[in-house]
Every structure is written in C-alpha cells, then in structure tokens.
Structure 1
Amino acid sequence: MMKRFRALVAGTTVLTCLGILLAGCGDDSESGPATLRYSWWGNAERADLMKQAIALFESKHPDVTVTPSFQEYEAYWQKMATETAGGNAPDVLQMDFSYLREYADRGVLYDLKKQTGENLVLDDLLPGFQGAGEVDGALYGVPVGGNTWSMYYNPAIFAKAGVPTPAAGWSWQDYRNSMARITEATDSYGGGNYTGIIYNLEVRLRQQGGQLFTPDGRLGFTREQLHAFWAEGQELIRADVVLPVDKAVQIKPRSGFADDLIASELGWDNFLVRYAAEVKTPLKLAPVPTDNPGQLGQYLKPAMLLSTSSRTEHPEEAAKLISFLINDPEAGRIFGANRGLPATNAQRAAAQLEGPLAEVAAYEQSIADQLTKAPPAPPKGAGGVEATFIRISEELHYGRISVDQAVDQFFADAEQKLGS
C-alpha cells in the first residue's frame, strides 16, 4: 500500500512539472519558502504589467514570494550602483546589455549556467539570442526581448521618384544612387547621414568580417576604416542628398519622416512604432544594404536581460522566476511588446502583436536565417565611446573639423575611455 502511495505521489509530481510550460520545475517545498527581491526599470505601465506577471508566477510557485521594486532608467542605475557596491543587490535584476560586462567583471552577477536545463529553460530562445548574455563562458544575463538594425523607407516617396524600393541584395552604392535620384526628383532628401551613427559603422564592419570592439575590450577597427567611413559621409553632404545636420537638430525630437524631409533612414527596427505615428503614409522595413552578398551584418540585440545577484541565497528560485518571465505564454500575453519583442517563440506567439509591432516581427522573421550571432557584451566605457562618436561626427557634418581631425579626436578620446 505504501509503495502504491509513493508511486502516485511521484506520478503527480511529474504531471505537475509537465503542466508548468517551459517555466522550469522543481519541488519548492524541499527548500522551503523563499522571498526574492526583483528590481527593474520602467514606468507605471510596465510596473502594472509586472505586478500581474508576478502574481501569476506566485500562483504557480506558492512557496516563492517576490518583492518588486522599480525606478526610471537613470534612477535605477544609480540605485544599482549603490546596492551592488554595498553587497545588497536584488536577487533578480533587469540588466542593460551595455552594462552586462561591467557588472559581470565586478563579480556582481551569478553564473546562470549552473541552473540551465533544470530551473532555467533556454531551449525556446530565438536562435539569435542563444548565448547573448555570456561573458567569458559564463551566463550572466538572459534576454527578455530585443531588436535588430534595419532600413526604414517611405514607399510613397520612392514611388514618386520612380526608384525601386530597398530589397535584399542592395549594395551601399545602390542606396547612395537611390538617395541622389530621390533628392533630385522630389522635395525630400534621400535619407539621413548614416555615417553619424556608430551602429552603421558596426554593421559595415560585421559585413566585412570585423567588429566594433575586440573581445578584450578595445576598438575593433582601424583609423583607416573610420576615415573611409566618415569620408563617405562627407561625400553625401557635398552631393546634398542627405538631411543637413542643422535641420536634423532643429526638428528633434521628431524624425525626418515627420514632414517627409527624408525618404529613408537606418536604425533599430522597433523605432517603427515611433516613426509610424509621425507619418501619414505607412513606412516599411528592409534589410541593411551590403557589399558582401549573404552577409547583412545584422544580429538580434537584447533590449534588456534578466540577471541574478552572485550574493542571492535563492539561486534556484531566482532562476525559476527568470525562466517564467521569458517563457510562460500567459506572461507573454500580459507584457506584449512592452519589454521589446519577446525573446522566445512561445511568448512571441502569445503576445498578440498588432500594427507596426506585427510588421517588425514579420520583418525579423523574414531575415531570421541571415541574422548572425550577437557580439560579446560591450566593454566598460562603450557608452562613452558612442557618445564621443555622435559628438565628433556632428562637428564633422557641420564642417567645423576635417575627417583627419575627427579620426584623431575620436581615437584619442575612445582609447582613453576604454582604458580607464
């Protein structure tokens, strides 16, 4: 009789585990009640969604209590700096890809590979997100959602100019020729000056087999490569086919799409939501131009990740919470695209995306087989390097400095930031 009872209990445990879809499974009663502190950045809308998701998680894991905390982005990182310095980091914390290596190198984060396959299920991540939170072989963050680089364009303006719309196989010269024809035939500029954005340099480098940063945290390109890139931008300015920098600054925070000032732009695909609200005619997405057929240089960049503190007393429960937040379909329906397009297939299917977000998801699906592995988490100082790139390229586009001067200034400042 006792053997039959034990068999029934074992069978019930297996069925219970199967019922918790992709959210990890374990016998919470063995470890006893646990309380997890969970911190994230966001606004009141995200906080409301998060509370719903936490309540759902607690209903499925009755021995785990989650204590939530959120702040706006800047305040969040100020608080994280204070708490981690004092050894009082939350058990689970939202992580920005740009800060991942810095926090990992400081020993603040827990290696989630220790929980993978048991309490943390990663099998359903989109291929481009696999390994995106790794640093030096350890897993310090799991992507929640993300996006990829892309080309936006206004089909109505392209049609007015009689120019074919962007498509796979377009070279950078094809793009420049189209910008010239659009500027000549319409009241719009062909596009923005893409050489003022560091991610366009990155995608160009990746198309050539290079990278923005080396694995050891240095610049991954030469002075000659940067010189050629910025010289290309100067040629676009002289040809008067790109939106002048002074006009671009004047219309901020609106984009050039708002008044049909430009016909195209390069940027993260999730910006389509913002741009779509500015225009009367629908915008479309296309792959980035490339001179290396079959190599777009594009990848899925985590919009945010979830990490665990290296000091947590409940690594198993923390891993279960992360697994739930990225995998559970009901949680996916709650969040939709609030945290970026979901990183797992199950949550993307459950998110009920509509309008521009549905178009972004379809776009990513159309180029999924051409997306390559994300680069390693950027080194400490990468954010400062990006800011330097923006500042110096703006000075260059205003004509205040030469390309030679711009390259010299950038390398001096960037190397100092990465070396500090």
Structure 2
Amino acid sequence: MARLKRFTKSLAIAAALSLVATGTVACGADTESGEVALRYSWWGNAERADLMQQAIDLFEEQNPGITVTPSFQEYEAYWQKLTTETAGGNMPDVLQMDFSYLREYADRGVLGGLDEHVGTDLVLDDLLAGFDGAGAVDDTLYAVPVGGNTWSMFYNPALFEQAGVPTPVIGWTWEDYHSAMATIKAETGTYGGGNYTGVIYNLEAQLRQEGGALFTEDGRLGFSKERLARFWQQGMDLIEQDVVLPVETAVQIKPASLWVDDLAASDLSWDNFLTRYAGETDTEIRLGPVPSNNPGQLGQYLKPAMLLSTSAGTEHPAAAARLISFMINDPEVGRIFGGNRGLPATNAQRDAAELDGPLAAVAAYEETIADQLTQAPPAPPRGAGSIEAAFIRISEELHYGRIGVAEAADQLFAEAEEILEP
C-alpha cells in the first residue's frame, strides 16, 4: 500500500515536471532572451562525473534552450575553489552544498532564495517528509536535499545471538544497551561496542530524545556543562567495566573502524556507512534504531548528505531552480545515480534507483523507521565542524585518563566560546 501511494504521488510529480520541461510552467525572464547558460559545480570523482554528464544530457534534451557546463573537484579542493569564486563574485549558478556550510554561505548573502520558485520551477512535493525545510535558514529556503541518511545502531547479530542478547528494537533504552554490551563481553570475550561518548552525534541523539538540541537557534551550544558531564560519565563508567573498545585500540586502527577484525559487537554512526563497513569485514552487520529513554522519541532524523543551491548573483534564477528540481525529482536521474549521491531525497527517485547490497539494506531499514524520523535540526552554525573536532580530541584525552570529566567539560565550553563567538 505504501508503495502504491508513492507511485500515485510520483505520477503527480512527473506530471508537474513535464509541465516544467515543456515550458508550460513560466520560467520568468530566463527563456525570453533565448539561450540560457548555467554553470553547475559539485564535488566528487570521475565515476560521479560520468553519471552527472548523463543526467545533464537528459536535462538539456528535455529543456531546449538551456545548456549546462559542469565543473567538479574532490571535496577539499571544491571548497577552496568555491571560496575563491565567492570572493571574486564569480560563483556558479548552481552549486552543491554541504549541510555544515549552509548557514555560513547563507549568512554571507551569496546564496539565492528559492521560495519564489517553489511550486513552479522547483517541485518539492515528493521530498521525503523528514526533508521538509531541511535547506532553510531563518525561514528562507536556500538549498534542497539531494540525498540523506540517519544516525543509527550497527550491530553484529551473530555475537548478539551467541551472548543471548535481544537485537536492538524500538523501545531499547540506553541502560538496555549498556547491559547488552556487558553481557556480550562476558559471554563472548568481544567488546560490546565502541565508546559512543566520543562522538558528538550520540550526545545530539540523547538531547533530541529529551526535547533539546545540539545548538540553539542563535548558534550557541544547546546543552549545559552539567549535561555534557553526565554524558561523558556514561563513557567513563563503560571503560571502568571494560565493556567498550579501549581508546588505545580505537586510535591505533584509524582510519579503519572497529569492524576490522571484529573488534566489537556494535557501534553508532550514519546508516550509509554500512557500505564502508561491509568493505572492512566479511561478518554480517545489521542496522537498528538508536537507544532512547523516551519511548516516543528516537532522536533520529534525515540529515541531508548533500544539497543543491543557487548563487544569489545568477542571471537565470528560474532556470537554475529548474535544474535543481530536475536533479532531485526525475526518476531517470534516480536510476542513473542509484546510491552514488546517498539515498535519494524523493520517493520517485528512491523507487527508480537500482540499489543492491548494503545500500538496499539501508533503504529497507529506513523504511522500517520512517514514522519515527523527526524534522531535521536547523543548519548548524558556522564553526560547528570545529566544535565536532574539539569534541573528538577532548573525549579522547578523557578516555585515556589524562583529564577528568569536569575538566573535559570546562575545556569544551571554553573552546566553544571562542569558536562560536558572534
């Protein structure tokens, strides 16, 4: 039934898109002057470049009069080039945007507002519910998700079964998880999990489960020192019980994960990492919901893996919006990319994408918890990435035993005050 509803909805979206493609929907001044040339920049590799060119060829075929010139770099080089282009007033018409940079670029006034194009050149009716408004900053839409993922539990079902521990389900509390890790270590000799308190997104999950957030609307930390100390104390208790992977081992194996050599039975991360983990071990890994002490709130949401934006200085804002709409809605584009850009953000493209292996498992998992996913938080403030890096570094010092919980919390807040200064 759910697939039938998505199919019916996809037909409606396809009809709307056909009006856009044939020019029935107004495209403002973009088409009055004849040929329109758009520059489209994104990050990726040669494989994605080939797929992107196929999608662009299809767009140009269905939108005569609009030509698209693509440009791509690897991730770091992409942002370096975009910084230079922005400073020189030469941004591309359409650009790939990272959720962590969205607010920074929006606040600088260099991204084009998309609200006026919604319903005409930009069709958003088929976005997955969790993506509604995900590209907005201060009530203005500046970006549209291309794909996304959600924070999740990863676990080794064989070790859980060997230890006689139930597999993770909705309703599992954090205390249940702690108990499961202890039992797995006692019964199998394998560590029950990684020390989740070294990752800021696990703190975010707990805060959202309590009705809170990682950051406030004005870009400050959304939690107190006391709440952070309670979170980090959970990790220290697990270390004392010797049930989580020691920090020495976790640091030593980087950049590999704890799934190498089956070092632990569980971990928490973004669900699309299943593809990476499956390449590190032959052991079966499954996905489950994040533990929660609030039965009605998992704290999970769909985070945009990447988004598309327009430049505030584009001479063809309607045509740029039309390109974005095509790239997120067209079923054939979904078939072309599959999971290359993350799991598609619209139902039509998810249905069209030919997924197999880990990506198919991720898609199936997300369907099982779709009604539990809540609205994504606002785009993080500028400096959020530096806060995450500081969190990792300070928590490692804590787990090594070089500093105490209170000192660690003081240190993070001191650094956050400098990083997040207005």
**TM-score range for the pair, normalised by the shorter chain length:** over 0.9
Task: Note if contact 1:95-1:307 (Cα within 8 Å) is conserved in structure 2.
Answer: yes
SS at match of 1:306: strand
Return closer, same or farther for 1:248/1:304 CA change in 2, 3 Å cut-off: same
- Alignment partner, residue 331 of structure 1: 333
Task: Note if contact 2:21-2:63 (Cα within 8 Å) is conserved in structure 1.
Answer: no
Q: Are 2:352 and 1:350 aligned? A: yes
- Alignment partner, residue 230 of structure 1: 232
Q: Are 2:218 and 1:220 aligned? A: no
TM-score by length of 1: 0.94
- Alignment partner, residue 45 of structure 1: 47
Q: 2:18 aligns with which of 9, 17, 20?
A: 20
Number of residue pairs matched by the alignment: 405
**Matched letter for residue 245 of structure 1:** V
Return closer, same or farther for 1:19/1:91 CA change in 2, 3 Å cut-off: closer
Whole-angstrom distance in 1 between the partners of 2:377 and 2:22: 28
SS at match of 1:259: helix
Shift of 1:27: 5.8
Shift of 1:194: 0.2
SS at match of 2:96: strand
Task: Note if contact 1:152-1:284 (Cα within 8 Å) is conserved in structure 2.
Answer: yes
**Matched letter for residue 190 of structure 2:** S
Whole-angstrom distance in 1 between the partners of 2:386 and 2:17: 46
Task: Note if contact 1:23-1:121 (Cα within 8 Å) is conserved in structure 2.
Answer: no
Whole-angstrom distance in 2 between the partners of 1:89 and 1:158: 51
Deviations 1:371-408 (A, max 9, x none): 11000000001110000000000100111111111011
Deviations 1:333-364 (A, max 9, x none): 11111110000000000001111111101111
- Alignment partner, residue 117 of structure 2: 115
Whole-angstrom distance in 2 between the partners of 1:18 and 1:385: 42
Deviations 1:215-243 (A, max 9, x none): 11000000010000001110000000000
Whole-angstrom distance in 1 between the partners of 2:43 and 2:320: 18
Q: 1:267 aligns with which of 269, 276, 284?
A: 269
Whole-angstrom distance in 2 between the partners of 1:411 and 1:265: 26
Task: Note if contact 2:21-2:62 (Cα within 8 Å) is conserved in structure 1.
Answer: no
- Alignment partner, residue 166 of structure 2: 164
Shift of 1:54: 0.4
Shift of 1:258: 1.9
Alpha-carbon RMSD across the aligned residues, in angstroms, is 1.5
- Alignment partner, residue 258 of structure 1: 260
Gaps of 5+ in 1: 1-15
Whole-angstrom distance in 2 between the partners of 1:96 and 1:184: 42
Deviations 1:307-358 (A, max 9, x none): 0000000001000000000000011111111110000000000001111111
Whole-angstrom distance in 2 between the partners of 1:180 and 1:168: 20
Return closer, same or farther for 1:22/1:245 CA change in 2, 3 Å cut-off: farther
| Alignment of structure 1 residues 226-375 onto 2, 5 Å | 226-375=228-377
Q: 1:86 aligns with which of 73, 85, 88?
A: 88
Shift of 1:174: 0.3
Whole-angstrom distance in 2 between the partners of 1:390 and 1:209: 24
SS at match of 2:420: helix
- Alignment partner, residue 32 of structure 1: 34
SS at match of 2:236: helix
SS at match of 1:419: coil
Return closer, same or farther for 1:320/1:176 CA change in 2, 3 Å cut-off: same
Task: Note if contact 1:24-1:120 (Cα within 8 Å) is conserved in structure 2.
Answer: no
Whole-angstrom distance in 1 between the partners of 2:118 and 2:26: 16
Gaps of 5+ in 2: 1-13
Whole-angstrom distance in 1 between the partners of 2:352 and 2:20: 14
Whole-angstrom distance in 1 between the partners of 2:362 and 2:15: 34
**Matched letter for residue 309 of structure 2:** S
Task: Note if contact 2:100-2:379 (Cα within 8 Å) is conserved in structure 1.
Answer: yes
Shift of 1:155: 0.3
Shift of 1:17: 6.8
Shift of 1:281: 2.6
Whole-angstrom distance in 2 between the partners of 1:318 and 1:24: 16
Whole-angstrom distance in 1 between the partners of 2:121 and 2:34: 16
**Matched letter for residue 92 of structure 1:** V
Task: Note if contact 2:149-2:342 (Cα within 8 Å) is conserved in structure 1.
Answer: yes
Whole-angstrom distance in 2 between the partners of 1:117 and 1:23: 14
Return closer, same or farther for 1:159/1:76 CA change in 2, 3 Å cut-off: same
Task: Note if contact 1:146-1:342 (Cα within 8 Å) is conserved in structure 2.
Answer: yes
SS at match of 2:262: coil
**Matched letter for residue 320 of structure 1:** R
Q: 1:406 aligns with which of 391, 408, 411?
A: 408
Whole-angstrom distance in 1 between the partners of 2:301 and 2:15: 34
Whole-angstrom distance in 2 between the partners of 1:48 and 1:212: 38
Whole-angstrom distance in 2 between the partners of 1:49 and 1:31: 30
TM-score by length of 2: 0.94
Task: Note if contact 1:24-1:118 (Cα within 8 Å) is conserved in structure 2.
Answer: no
SS at match of 1:30: coil
